[in-house]
Amino acid sequence: MVGLAFRNLTRQFRRYRVLMATLIFGFAVVMLVLGLTSGMTRNLEHKAARYFAGDLSITGYSKVRYDSIDHQTEVLAAIAASRIPTLGVTRRTNYNSLDSTLFFNGSSVRQRRLVGVDWKLESPNFSDMDFVSGGLEGLENSDGILVSTQVANRTGVRTGDQILLLLSTRGGAQNTANLVVKGVYRESSFFGSTAYLDIETLNRLYGQKPGSATDMGVMLAPGLLPASAAERLRSALAEQSLQVFTAIDTREAQNTAMAENWDGRKYAVMTLRAHLSVIADVLDAVNLVTAFVLVFFLVIIVVGVSNTYRMIVRERVREIGTLRAIGMQARAVRSLFLWEAVLLALTGIGGGLLLGLVFLFGATLLDLSNYGALLMFLKQGRPDWYLDPVWMLVSVAVMFTSCFLGVWRPASSAARMRPVDALNDNG
């Protein structure tokens, strides 16, 4: 039956060429949308993980003292004991007060966040940062600082210049330091209102002990569910005899945890969604758009295949009558058309994948770095793509389902034809 269906498609290619072209182009568009939206999602998650100290971050809270990781050795032991596949561990001091200000050449810019980074651990996490000048060299154990283009454009500071940092210490005193700009990076306004420097430099300016940290975290290996990994890490921390909140995966869960009563230091394991609900909303919106495209694609393919096959069945009435007259059963006739649908779907998937890859590679050549609102989704100012295996399987299933649904009614109509009526048809 498969061989007969293949011969029908090849011998009657002129009848099917428009339908094949439609399927190929439609699947290519789906690949383009899926690849770009998945790439946008992955870039956003990667940048958020870099911003928030990891896909999972650990913060030590106290009712009467400031945030701190007082048990770094135990936290590292818990990360190892959890056996979570990771790409790396982070260790940071975060300064989140809005009074930190950078001064240069008579101009000033407030920073939403100062981040002290353990560059020995985290240099790979910043290797793909979109630097317009300078880079990571010379930051470890130095008074170097990375600033955004927002700072550079407003103050005129350039790589190699000294910039003055003003901030408040833990004790509430004002502190200043002259730092050397080691690099200028380009990022959206949200992620760009941050300056990065060495963790021990920020500890000293902040009035913390050497070796201190306010946050630790892990970069998860691809494919792990953050909520599940967070629970495993939380359990491992509890086994180290540390006070631990329940794993926090939403902003509401964080608010509930902070309202609890406790003494001493209590640790929170938080996912990216808990850190920033806006990111969760954006990711949900991207996934909703992707699902809408697939549903729209399904409707278009079903209608297109169904209408085309009605015409094809009408044109092949005498052929159907001949097959029935020589003994082919109605079920076999229907199966013949359905196998043709399978071959059409395979053609659409194969051709569409190749054409979609061409579209995706072409999209990566677009320089969109001047569109500030898009920067959080881009990789070094350009679109990036990623074909998620789950979405790929869904797309293939949609293609086969579309072709089957489109062919089923015309195939059933053909199977119900009486041989004598089909042979006498003059249409």
pTM of the complete model: 0.80
pLDDT for res 3: 63
pLDDT for res 77: 95
pLDDT for res 103: 96
H-type alpha helices, 110-188: 119-122, 149-155
Give the DSSP letter string of 245-280: PPPB-SHHHHHHHHTS---S-EEEEEEHHHH-HHHH
Q: Mind listing the domains of the chain with CATH numbers?
A: 2-46+279-423 (no CATH), 53-85+221-275 (no CATH), 93-213 (2.40.40)
The per-residue pLDDT for range 354-382, each reduced to its tens digit, is 999 999 999 999 988 887 778 888 888 88
Spatial distance between the Cα atoms of 60 and 41, rounded to a whole number of angstroms: 29
CA atoms 201, 114, 54, 44: torsion sign:
negative
pLDDT for res 380: 85
pLDDT for res 351: 92
pLDDT for res 18: 78
For helices 330-363 and 13-51, the axis angle rounded to 10 degrees is 50
- Enumerate residue ranges in the chain where pLDDT < 70: 1-13, 15, 277-278, 280, 313-331, 333-334, 410-411, 413-427
Q: DSSP 3-state helix, strand, coil percentages of the chain (rounded to 5)?
A: 55, 20, 25
Spatial distance between the Cα atoms of 184 and 178, rounded to a whole number of angstroms: 17
The per-residue pLDDT for range 229-278, each reduced to its tens digit, is 999 999 999 999 999 999 888 878 888 888 888 888 999 999 988 877 66
Whether residue 392 contacts residue 290, with contact meaning beta carbons closer than 8 Å, is answered with: no
Q: How many CB atoms lie within 10 A of CB 300?
A: 14
CA angle, residues 150, 154, 160, in degrees to nearest 5: 80
Contacts of 204 (CB under 8 A, 6+ apart): 210
Kindly state the helix (H) or strand (E) to which residue 66 belongs, with its residue range: none
